[in-house]
Amino acid sequence: MLKQIGSGALHTETVATYVIDGQHVEVDLCWQGKEPEQDADRFYDLFDADGVCLNEGSPFHDDGEGVPTIETITEFLNPKGGE
């Protein structure tokens, strides 16, 4: 998918789909430029089955460790001590 953002183009690619607490969570890699590796600011967004962004304003920046794991996403969605 290609989304036009300002004068640049934001590319997205679904890189993982998890089921967490019975809900589907899609992980999309987002980047600008021709290839993801060329964008040092690439990041991951999370979406539910209806396409709603679950981490708007809090992207998972690509730190070289690869796609966020199901454990990392579960902790983000259900923080300990949170309500």
Chunk the chain into consecutive blocks of 10 residues (it has 83) and report each block's average pLDDT, rounded to whole numbers: 57 96 96 91 95 93 92 92 53
Give just the sign of the alpha carbon dihedral 3, 20, 15, 58: positive
SS3 for the chain is CEEEECCEEEEEEEEEEEEECCEEEEEEEEEECCCHHHCCCCEEEEECCCCCECCCCCCEECCCCCCCCHHHHHHHHCCCCCC
Angle made by CA atoms 72, 59, 8, in degrees to the nearest 5: 145
- Specify the pLDDT at position 4: 45
Global confidence as pTM: 0.83
- Specify the pLDDT at position 51: 94
- Specify the pLDDT at position 79: 83
